[in-house]
Amino acid sequence: MSNTKKKKRKNADEVARKTLKRSSRFAFGLLINVIIVFLAVKIFSGAFNFAYGVFGSVALNPMDKEYKLIEITADTSILDIGDALEKGAIIENKYVFYFKVKVKGYGDKIVAGKYGLSPSMTYDDILTTICHIGEDEEEE
C-alpha cells in the first residue's frame, strides 16, 4: 500500500471516529433533554392534580354509592384521618385531604365520632360531614 493510500485511510478513519463521537454526543444530549422534558411534564401534571384536588371538587369514584364506616377519635391527627380515609378507599390522596383541611381552616372543627362516608363524596362533602358544618344553622 502506498503512503498516500495509508494517509487517506488514516484520515477516513479519523473522520469516522469524529463523526461517531459527534453523533454519540448528540444522541446523549438528546436523551438527557427528553428525560428533562419528561420529568418536567410529570412534575407539572402531579402539581396540577394535587392543586386541583385541594381547590377543586373531586371525588374518588362518583359512581360508588357504598358507604363505609370510619371512626374518628378525639386525639386523631388530620393526617391520620386522611390515612384512614385513603386506606378505606374513600379518598385518593391523604395529603390532598390534609391541605384541604388546612386551607379551609377546619383543623379544630373535626368532631370525633363514627361516620358513614362514600367514595362518591367530594373532599368538601366529607369535611362537611365530619365537621358537622351546616348543622348549627339547622338547630337555630
Whole-number pLDDT of residue 135: 66
Q: Please say whether the beta carbons of 126 and 117 come within 8 A.
A: yes
pLDDT for 140: 43
Domain identity same for 15 and 41: yes
Q: What are the two backbone dihedrals, phi and then psi, of residue 16, each rounded to the nearest 5 degrees? A: -65, -40
- Span 99-120, pLDDT tens digits: 999 999 998 999 999 999 999 9
Res 138: pLDDT: 45
Same domain, 72 and 129: yes
My answer on whether 125 and 84 are in the same domain is: yes
- CB count, 10 Å around CB of 115? 17
- Domain extent for 108: 68-139
26-36 pLDDT tens trace:
999 999 999 99
Could you report the per-residue pLDDT of 67-89, keeping only the tens digit for each?
A: 999 999 999 999 999 999 999 99
